[in-house]
Structure formats: structure tokens, C-alpha cells
Amino acid sequence: MSGNNENNPFKIAQQQINDCADILKLNPGTREVLLSPMREFHVSFPVRMDDGSTRVFQGFRVQYNDAKGPTKGGIRFHPEETIDTVRALAAWMTWKCAMLDLPLGGGKGGVICNPKELSPGELERISRGYVRAIGSFIGPEKDIPAPDVYTNPQVMAWMVDEYSSIVGRNQFGVITGKPLPLGGSSGRGDATARGGMYALREAAQVVGLDLSKATVAVQGYGNAGSYAASLAESMFQSKIVAVCDSRGAVTCKDGICAAKVAEHKQNTSTVMNCEGTENLTNDELLALDVDVLVLAALENSITERNADQIKAKIIVELANGPTTPEADEILYNKGIHVIPDFLCNAGGVTVSYFEMVQNAYMYYWDEEEIHEKLDKRMTRAYHEVIQTSEKFKINMRKAAYAVSVGRVVEAMKLRGWI
């Protein structure tokens, strides 16, 4: 694969689909359907800024495959958002929903903007402008957005309000990840990390790792990474020995308190220079001799360039697309157990699905019931993947693709598409 392809997440997603198609022995027509989004929207919309000027923002929405049901997927606000990133994420959402056997397809959206440079008023006007631009193409039975990078429950609240204004009635089911008073679900805040921890618990049993004695490094200390660190402490009594964010990393061999680092980052906007820790680079964090490496940053963190340096026994992929296909083979040959992204981080979309169900019949479960239902689904999905990995003697990502793509293909066949 060329260097250009290595950095293009959609090329990576397509290569993974092709590898899976080889394993499943799919015919050329079926393969072709899987390799392209069913529909995508490119929108431009004007926003009045605080200084009175008007700026035009570019946005995307990709509905990758809806064979199993309405498409579902997050919305990113990011200064470097690209259509290929959104396409890849929409593809991965398709497989993620199928992985957990949810009655949903995959979608994704994004707006090119930098929320760190926007006032709350500007952020609200961008959120509403984006929904006006894509409003005709989304809905509870069409495509259901959710939060993603640099979006949050408040952004979802503005979006659901704007959509409700457009259709002339409250339509809370159009968006998930909403605040609780607007039809949000209990357990949504830490759902991605918690689902990953359930998968880690099962993986540790498979590889014979005692998590109560395990050391953990966390790359990325946003929502998923910080929750993963605190849950690893509280659920398993694991020792967090290193964490990082976009500015750098910190380590302490005697252990780092997840809450203390979160408070330090809240006060200083970075984990760097946290009391009782030493600074190091992100590359150094990835190469630490730890039992568990949690990847909770962005795409392409582990590539063929640095995969040989990874020493962890288990990699927990809470981010989307953090490992390239070449790196996957290197890690597999080293005996490192990777819990692939669209299995590992499926807790978020699973609880989003629970939110949709609760919205539809206007009855809400308590947090304990959410955790119980999530645990059951994540545990079942993990064992389906590990069994497929062992059956075909393939790495965990290829096994996850075989399970999930197989389900999408079955739905397409039943519908007469292929």
C-alpha cells in the first residue's frame, strides 16, 4: 500500500472490506456494493458570526448501507474533517451495528470547523445550520445522528430542537446522545468506554491476564480515554501508568489516579506536567512495556512504522481506525491480542440504540439495566469474534469483519439486492 493510501482512512476501510470478501468468498457484484457508500451529501451553509460577518461552512453526511435498517452514526466537528474520513467512519459504523446485531445501518457526518475557536453562540448556529442543511435526509426511520469528536449532548440538544422546528413537532428520536431531560439515555456518557471494558474483561480471560495486577497505558484522554482509565481502576483495580493527549504524555510507574489527571486536564487543558508524573512523547507511550494499551485518540496511531515497538499484551481500540492493515499483521504475528475498533467501541452505538428504543415507547430504563443489557451484548459479540478468529486462523479484525459483513450480506440477499 502506498504512503498516501496508508493515511486515507477510506482506502483502509476498503482494503479491510476486500480482505473480508476474500475470506467470505463473496462474488464481484456483492463486493462492489460493499465498497461504496449508498448515498452521501455535501452541504454548504452560511453562519452569522459574533462579529457580524457571515462565514460559509462545509459539511458532509454519508449513509453507507441501510440493508439492516436506518443508518446511524455520529457527527464530528473538526478543522481537518474530510469526506474520505466520513466515508470510512460510515463504513465502520455499518459493520459496528451489524457486529452487535442491531437493526441499523451505518452513517456518519461532519462539519469542517474548529470548535475551540468558536463561541457558544457560534457553535449553536453551526449546529442548527447543519441540521437545516441535512434535515431532509435524516429522521428516526431514515438516519439518526449522534455525538462524536468535538460534539456533545448540548450540540445534540440544539440539533434535535432545530429538527423538531422543521417538522413541526417534537421528534426526540432523530438524534441520540441527548441530555437526559430531552430523551437521553442513562449510561450513555461512559457507554463507549464501558463496552470496551466488558470486551477487555473477556479478552483478559482468553489470554490469561489478571487485570487486577495489570498495567494500563491510555492514548487519548478525551471522553472515551478518561472514562476507560477510571473504569479500569474501579472495575478491575488495574494500575494506570501512562496517559496522553494531543500535546503529549505523562507516566508514573507507581500508578496515576485517573480522576487526578482528569482534574489537571480540566484546569490546564492538557495532561502534561501533572503532579507526580514524568512527561514523555506520545510515541514513547505507545512503546511502553504495559499489559494493556488503550487507543482512544484518532486514526492511524499504529502503523507499520511503529507496530514492531508495541509491547502490550492486549490492545483496546476505543478510537476508530487506530491501526492500519499492515500494522494488524505485525501485531498478530507478535501474538498481541487486538480488540478491534468496531467491536471494542460499539458500546456507544449500542446505548444509542437503547436510547432510540426508549424514545420510541417513551419509557426509560435505569442505569443498572442499561449496563446489564450492554454487558450481555458486548460479551456475546466478543465471543462470536474470537470463535471466528480461531476457526479461520485469522486476526481479530478480520474475524470481526467476517461476522459483521456476513450479516449485512445476508440482509442484502434476503432483500434481493444481490
- Residue 2, pLDDT > 60, answer no
- Residue 9, pLDDT > 90, answer no
pLDDT tens digits for range 243-298: 999 899 999 999 999 999 999 999 998 999 898 999 999 999 999 999 999 999 87
Q: Which three cell numbers stand for residue 375?
A: 454487558
Dihedral sign, Cα of residue 289, residue 293, residue 298, residue 304: positive
pLDDT tens digits for range 189-211: 899 999 999 999 999 999 999 99
Q: Among residues 11, 72, 96, 108, which one is catalytic?
A: 108
User: How large is the average pLDDT for residues 161-188?
Assistant: 96
- Fold matches, 60-182 and 191-344: yes
Question: For residue 52, how many other CB atoms are within 10 A of its CB?
Answer: 6
- Residue 299, pLDDT > 50, answer yes
**Binning pLDDT at 50, 70 and 90, where does residue 1 land?**
very low
**Binning pLDDT at 50, 70 and 90, where does residue 93 land?**
very high
For residue 69, the model assigns a pLDDT of: 98
**Binning pLDDT at 50, 70 and 90, where does residue 7 land?**
confident
pLDDT tens digits for range 356-373: 999 999 999 999 999 999
User: How large is the average pLDDT for residues 316-343?
Assistant: 93
- Residue 55 CA from chain centroid, whole number: 30
Report the C-alpha gap between 290 and 317 in whole angstroms.
15
For residue 6, the model assigns a pLDDT of: 57
Report the C-alpha gap between 325 and 304 in whole angstroms.
9
Q: In terms of Cα–Cα distance, which of 243, 395, 412, 393 is closest to 318?
A: 243
- Residue 12, pLDDT > 90, answer no
- Residue 4, pLDDT > 60, answer no
110: Cβ contacts below 8 Å, ≥ 6 apart: 59, 60, 75, 76, 77, 78, 81, 85, 86, 148
Q: Which three cell numbers stand for residue 234?
A: 474501579
User: How large is the average pLDDT for residues 126-132?
Assistant: 98
Q: Kindly list the distances between the CA atom of residue 237 and the CA atoms of 47, 230, 231, 250, in Å, as whole numbers in the listed order.
A: 48, 10, 9, 20
238: Cβ contacts below 8 Å, ≥ 6 apart: 211, 212, 214, 215, 216, 232, 291, 292
- Residue 192 CA from chain centroid, whole number: 7
Report the C-alpha gap between 218 and 200 in whole angstroms.
14
For residue 231, the model assigns a pLDDT of: 98
pLDDT tens digits for range 43-83: 999 999 999 999 999 999 999 999 999 999 999 999 999 99
| Assigned architecture for domain 191-344 | 3-Layer(aba) Sandwich (3.40)
**Binning pLDDT at 50, 70 and 90, where does residue 325 land?**
confident
- Residue 216, pLDDT > 90, answer yes
**Binning pLDDT at 50, 70 and 90, where does residue 310 land?**
very high
Mean pLDDT of the chain: 94
Q: Kindly list the distances between the CA atom of residue 151 and the CA atoms of 146, 154, 223, in Å, as whole numbers in the listed order.
A: 9, 8, 11
Residue appearing with cell numbers 439515555: 185
**Binning pLDDT at 50, 70 and 90, where does residue 5 land?**
low
For residue 3, the model assigns a pLDDT of: 40
Q: In terms of Cα–Cα distance, which of 190, 223, 348 is closest to 297?
A: 223
For residue 319, the model assigns a pLDDT of: 92
Asked about 108 being catalytic, the answer comes back as yes
User: How large is the average pLDDT for residues 222-237?
Assistant: 95
Domain ranges of the chain: 60-182, 191-344
CATH of 60-182 among 3.40.50.720, 3.50.50.100, 3.90.550.10, 3.40.50.10860? 3.40.50.10860
